[in-house]
Structure 1
Amino acid sequence: MSYLLIGNISALICEENIEPLANARIRIYLPSQNYGVEELARGIFKDLRRLSERDVQAKTDHLLAESMLDERGNFSIAWEDLHLFTEPLEMDICLNSVPGKHGGQQEWVQFHLSTFVPHWKRSKDKYLGAFAYVVPADKWAGIRREFGAWVIAGSVKHMDTLHGMGHLRVEACNALNDKLLGWCHTSDSGRYRLYFSRKDISGGSLLHILKSGDNIFSEGPDVYFRVYEGNRLIWQENKDIALQPERQQLGYCTRLNLFIRPRAAEKKPVRLSGWLNDLIQNGRSKPHYKDQYVTY
């Protein structure tokens, strides 16, 4: 009998913004321990608890199947078995990058996500089950920290109408050195999602390092924004706004909505052509133009 498990795994950036765990690897294991009926009834989620290399090696013999998530976080994973599956399964996720991370991929890191009993439905010669999960924002921020990758999400809205403004270029700048951290375009509804990495913060120079106890870590930047329509700058913030608490040392998952009042397009002076333009530019008199343009 064959089994097919389909589903989606995504992560929460903020209340209004979710990103998929694109190109992650999913692994399904037979249980390595006994679980109580009550535990299984309510589901056991570990919120991506990181596993050590020893933990991964210890469960190698229990591996049932593995597959990759696509760009949308969807997966389809199948395996063969001779009996009906009523026991719980352990699901792990492996990551070697996160959306928006620059500088290539690193070693795979494995996290335990859940232990659960799928609700199997018979379909011809196979059993079909489904699974979907959204990683909480605080857990996802912790994982992004391991990869040194930040994401800012929000909307760009007109200050007067509060309508979302689409097809604009949003730029985030580091107030420490005025360097561009990252940029993106808003959607039709004005939403944006902007990524940058630890390398973008440093600009190739020494990072701003803070020490807390025995742990040394890199904090996020203080930011201010610019907004463009095409190549025209229509709104920008004074960098002093980066001193506000919500703009300082940004977390790895941050929501920031921008309320802007776009600048009016500058009117270009009308260019006069022909004899009238020459008259204004050169201060010539009308008789001179009569001599120039009228043939006797």
Structure 2
Amino acid sequence: MKYVLRGRIYATICDDRKLPLSRSVVRLYRFEAKDATRLVAAQAKEVFQFLEEKDIKAKQKRLLAETTTDAQGNYSFEIDGDKKKYKGEAVEVDVYYPEIPDYGQEDTDKPRNYKAFQATLDVIQARWKETNEGLLGQWNYTLSRKWWCALLRRLDIWVICGTLLDCESGQPQAGVEVIAMDDDVISDDTLGSAITDASGKFCIFYRSKDFKKTFLSPFINIETPIFPLGNGPDIYFKFALGGSIFHEEDPSVARKPGRENVDNCLCVRLCIEGGQREPVSSFFHIGDARRYHIVLNINPADGRTANKAAASWNEQAFFSTLGLLGTLEKTLNGQPMEYKFQYTELASPTDPIPANPAAWKDVLKTDIANGTIIGFTPKFVTSPPPPHYDPDIYAINAQAGQIDVAFNGNWIVVPQTAQFLTGRLINLISGKLASGNVNMSTLTPGDSSTTVAPLQKNRYFSIRMIKRQAGNAASEAVAGTSRPLATFNTIYQNVPHGGSWAPGLTQSELGIASLDLDELVSGGGCSNITDSITVKYTATNPNLGNVSLAFSGPGATNNFDPIVFTTPGEEAHGTSHYLGSFGDLENCAYEIRLSAELNLTNGETQHDNIWDRVLFCR
């Protein structure tokens, strides 16, 4: 019997805010103590304990399974009950740290003399439920702030979490970069930064070496002054929009209680007088409808979308034309402004974004969709009646009725007309950054696409906006940089469709969905099927979601062998037999349809499912 235990693990931080325990090794152990019932009923604080190397080795023979949580803290264990001699009894759940995970601090170097350790989270008795997969159990867990901070301390990870509000109205301040500083005698250290979410919340992760810097760093790091020796940094904050600091606390705040010599977990509640006073030109989001924040809603581990309340909007790569949104002012430091976009390709989404300007390429005018409206000027007219507003519309690559926006090389010149109101920054044709074609005409449904061509992969691009005073190179400033974005625009050409029933080739799809029936292959495309249905299927895309078969007709049920994902998240192929009652099928026409979900978004909607179908007669 197979046992599957799934769930999600969180950690509690400030204001009961939960953070996912991401990218962490989780272990499941058989629990053999006689007082299992008491410990299952006990509170987590009675069970939690740290384990050192000797304790870890002593538990090794009881290990049932091991897995790693994803970016959202999800985990899944599978236990072969027969092989492990497990019958659903109580288990211990531990988290194991052979390395330093990236919880947001990015630096994963081990502290000096670091030794792998483990922590027991809880003892649980899952409530098993019978499913087609076997026995399924569900267990979610939230680590208390006390133990989360103790765990981070062992890892030399420091965190500042808080909320940013307007001092007068109390309204959350979203999209603001909060920069944590350590007030030091020799020079103030920048610990890290984060951008506030829609609720004004943020978390900044850093390491002790970020505040133990001296004039001899990185050779000698120690918090200054050396005498007396302090344990933690002294914190004050700066605030920025689009890379431009618009407000900062006085460094003396760092010497006040609650900010001086702080522990590795700090909770703060900050406010800005007058909120975000002056609009700042900057690049913030992708897409009008979904508004993916270029940092908060991009998973740094895989470049896909993340952290949206609508779960179906997450784990998507980007494709097609992308609306790049933000704020746009006519001037910069009182002078007319112009802006442009640049991009750089990375081999992996975890690679550092290059600082060298030579690594970036300009987005060209031809890379921007025709008719991209960047703004308009309201205009009241009386003719033809009745009186109404008929604005002047300013667009890149203007179409009929629009006013063409001027370019200075690759710089977009912001119109200087009165009452200029902004629309979007650009509509980027992402296929101009990365595209390609692969010919699948020789694919046989049921086989892997790799029999024809290698599995196609996402490509990763960071996109940034640069602004400047018109013609003034010295005033250039970065105004918003995205995390590396997973992007896919490869076109699959000549994919076999219709099987042996109505063979043909589809053109220009972003994935493969192809099927046939063995009975039609051997008997001919118009053969009647009498006693079996054997589906051959292939579905491919590096962002492949759900793949399913649907059987339509009198007496038909969607009862097939499970779809086999030979490369999870990228390809499913093989054979699936109809498991329903063949005697219930009437002498009639039937359709079997293969549907494949593509987890691709343009920031507005998700790509439609792709499909193939075969018809036959009973």
> What TM-score do you get using the length of structure 2 for normalisation?
0.40
The whole-number CA distance in structure 1 between the counterparts of 2:132 and 2:335 is 75
| 2:212–2:224 CA contact under 8 A, matched in 1 | no
Report the Cα offset of residue 101 of structure 1. 3.6
The whole-number CA distance in structure 1 between the counterparts of 2:32 and 2:264 is 33
| 1:222–1:248 CA contact under 8 A, matched in 2 | yes
Equivalence for 1:182:
192
**Which amino acid in structure 2 is aligned with residue 260 of structure 1?**
I
Mark the runs of 5 or more structure 1 residues left unpaired by the alignment.
212-216, 272-296
Equivalence for 2:170:
162
Instruction: Establish whether residue 100 from structure 1 lines up as the match of residue 115 from structure 2.
Output: no
Report the Cα offset of residue 135 of structure 1. 1.0
Equivalence for 1:21:
21
Match of 1:206 among 210, 216, 221: 221
The whole-number CA distance in structure 2 between the counterparts of 1:105 and 1:87 is 38
| 2:5–2:136 CA contact under 8 A, matched in 1 | yes
Instruction: Establish whether residue 249 from structure 1 lines up as the match of residue 261 from structure 2.
Output: yes
Change (3 A) 1:140 1:12: same
| 2:162–2:267 CA contact under 8 A, matched in 1 | yes
Equivalence for 2:68:
68
Report the Cα offset of residue 108 of structure 1. 3.5
**Which amino acid in structure 1 is aligned with residue 254 of structure 2?**
A
Change (3 A) 1:134 1:270: closer
Report the Cα offset of residue 32 of structure 1. 3.8
The whole-number CA distance in structure 1 between the counterparts of 2:146 and 2:43 is 20
Report the Cα offset of residue 175 of structure 1. 0.8
The whole-number CA distance in structure 1 between the counterparts of 2:25 and 2:225 is 33
Report the Cα offset of residue 43 of structure 1. 5.9
Q: 1:221 aligns to what SS in structure 2?
A: coil
The whole-number CA distance in structure 1 between the counterparts of 2:125 and 2:224 is 45
Report the Cα offset of residue 153 of structure 1. 0.9
Match of 1:142 among 131, 138, 150: 150
The whole-number CA distance in structure 2 between the counterparts of 1:56 and 1:133 is 22
| 1:47–1:135 CA contact under 8 A, matched in 2 | no
Match of 1:172 among 159, 180, 198: 180
Change (3 A) 1:44 1:227: closer
**Which amino acid in structure 1 is aligned with residue 175 of structure 2?**
H
**Which amino acid in structure 2 is aligned with residue 233 of structure 1?**
I
Q: Deviations over 1:172-229 (max 9, x none)?
A: 1111131211111111222111111111111234323899xxxxx9622011111012
The whole-number CA distance in structure 2 between the counterparts of 1:71 and 1:269 is 43
**Which amino acid in structure 1 is aligned with residue 100 of structure 2?**
S
Count of equivalent residues = 266
The whole-number CA distance in structure 2 between the counterparts of 1:26 and 1:180 is 33
Instruction: Give the CA RMSD over aligned residues.
Output: 2.7
The whole-number CA distance in structure 2 between the counterparts of 1:92 and 1:164 is 37
Change (3 A) 1:218 1:87: farther
The whole-number CA distance in structure 1 between the counterparts of 2:43 and 2:7 is 16
Output aligned runs, 1:201-280, within 5 Å: 201-203=211-213, 204=217, 205-208=220-223, 219-261=231-273, 262=275, 264-265=277-278
Greater RCO, CA 8 A, separation 6+:
1
Mark the runs of 5 or more structure 2 residues left unpaired by the alignment.
280-330, 337-618
The whole-number CA distance in structure 2 between the counterparts of 1:25 and 1:113 is 12
Percent identical among aligned pairs is 25
**Which amino acid in structure 1 is aligned with residue 89 of structure 2?**
E
**Which amino acid in structure 2 is aligned with residue 252 of structure 1?**
N
| 2:173–2:200 CA contact under 8 A, matched in 1 | yes
| 1:6–1:130 CA contact under 8 A, matched in 2 | yes
Change (3 A) 1:47 1:178: farther
Report the Cα offset of residue 104 of structure 1. 2.5
Change (3 A) 1:29 1:159: same
Change (3 A) 1:125 1:22: closer
> What TM-score do you get using the length of structure 1 for normalisation?
0.81
Change (3 A) 1:171 1:64: same
**Which amino acid in structure 2 is aligned with residue 174 of structure 1?**
D
Report the Cα offset of residue 46 of structure 1. 4.9
Change (3 A) 1:43 1:255: closer
**Which amino acid in structure 2 is aligned with residue 97 of structure 1?**
I
Report the Cα offset of residue 150 of structure 1. 0.9
**Which amino acid in structure 1 is aligned with residue 104 of structure 2?**
G
Change (3 A) 1:127 1:210: farther
**Which amino acid in structure 2 is aligned with residue 152 of structure 1?**
I
Change (3 A) 1:139 1:47: farther
Deviates more, 1:149-158 or 1:41-50: 41-50
Report the Cα offset of residue 105 of structure 1. 4.5
Change (3 A) 1:36 1:50: closer
Output aligned runs, 1:82-101, within 5 Å: 82=82, 85-95=87-97, 96-98=99-101, 99-101=103-105
Q: Deviations over 1:236-278 (max 9, x none)?
A: 111111111111122222111111024744996689xxxxxxx
| 1:165–1:190 CA contact under 8 A, matched in 2 | yes
